């Protein structure tokens, strides 16, 4: 009988790491912590155009209004050096997924974020960058419900428990 290894490190990846992936990072980190799971979550962009910058002000505002802490994020670039450093890599859309495969992320570790979404719909998390505030609220709603499902998946994989809230 083969066992699936525990998930201890998750990377969430979009294009610039200032909208979708940081929203997902903040929400998923909180959900995993609240479930008592000892899992590291990091977010990245496949592009390097925003490295070191905080998340988009609209993303931060959306998170803050919903009661999350959006202050610590600084954009990072996903490179081939991270390709095997994570147990689960979640691409925010199909283009990111293809870019991550090209960077050498093993297929068995790579999923689209919405592969876990319990709501029916397209597999991509839409990029809200060129739209208005409503797009950011929609991304947050998608991320919140999907983060619950990802947390259940991680828990089922036997991830280490931290003993409760930190």
Note whether residue 48 is domain-resident.
Answer: yes
Mean of pLDDT over the chain: 93
Note whether residue 18 is domain-resident.
Answer: yes
Model pLDDT for residues 58-115, shown as the tens digit of each residue? 999 999 999 999 999 999 999 999 999 999 999 999 999 999 999 999 999 999 999 9
Query: Which residues form the domain of 21?
Result: 9-156
Residue 46: DSSP 8-state: S
Contacts 24+ apart (CB under 8 A), 80-87: 80/104, 82/11, 82/44, 84/109, 85/9, 85/11, 86/9, 86/10, 86/11, 86/42, 87/5, 87/6, 87/7, 87/8, 87/9, 87/10
Model pLDDT, residue 164: 43
Note whether residue 113 is domain-resident.
Answer: yes
Model pLDDT, residue 165: 38
Model pLDDT for residues 116-157, shown as the tens digit of each residue? 999 988 899 999 999 999 999 999 999 999 999 999 999 998
Residue 1, pLDDT above cutoff 80: no
Note whether residue 42 is domain-resident.
Answer: yes
Model pLDDT, residue 159: 58
Instruction: Indicate the pTM of the whole model.
Output: 0.92
Q: What is the CATH number of the domain that holds 18?
A: 3.40.50.2300
Note whether residue 120 is domain-resident.
Answer: yes
Note whether residue 30 is domain-resident.
Answer: yes
Provide the token pair at 74. Answer: 């600084």
Note whether residue 23 is domain-resident.
Answer: yes
Residue 3, pLDDT above cutoff 60: no
Note whether residue 4 is domain-resident.
Answer: no
How many domains does the structure of the chain reveal? 1
Residues serving a catalytic function are 14, 20, 127
Q: Is the model more confident about 1 or about 91?
A: 91
Model pLDDT, residue 36: 96
Model pLDDT for residues 31-43, shown as the tens digit of each residue? 999 999 999 999 9
């Amino acid at each position: 009988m083969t066992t699936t290894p525990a998930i201890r490190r998750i990377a969430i990846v979009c294009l610039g790491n200032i909208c979708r992936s940081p929203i997902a990072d903040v929400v998923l980190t909180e959900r995993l912590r609240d479930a008592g799971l000892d899992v590291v979550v990091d977010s990245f962009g496949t592009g390097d155009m925003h490295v070191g910058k905080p998340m988009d002000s609209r993303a931060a505002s959306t998170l803050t209004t919903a009661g999350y802490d959006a202050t610590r994020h600084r954009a990072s670039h996903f490179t081939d050096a991270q390709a095997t450093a994570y147990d689960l890599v979640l691409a925010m859309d199909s283009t990111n997924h293809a870019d991550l495969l090209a960077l050498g992320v093993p297929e068995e570790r790579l999923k689209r974020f919405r592969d876990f979404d319990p709501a029916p719909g397209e597999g991509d998390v839409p990029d809200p960058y060129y739209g208005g505030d409503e797009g950011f609220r929609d991304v947050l709603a998608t991320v919140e419900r999907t983060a619950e499902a990802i947390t259940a998946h991680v828990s089922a994989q036997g991830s280490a428990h931290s003993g409760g809230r930190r």
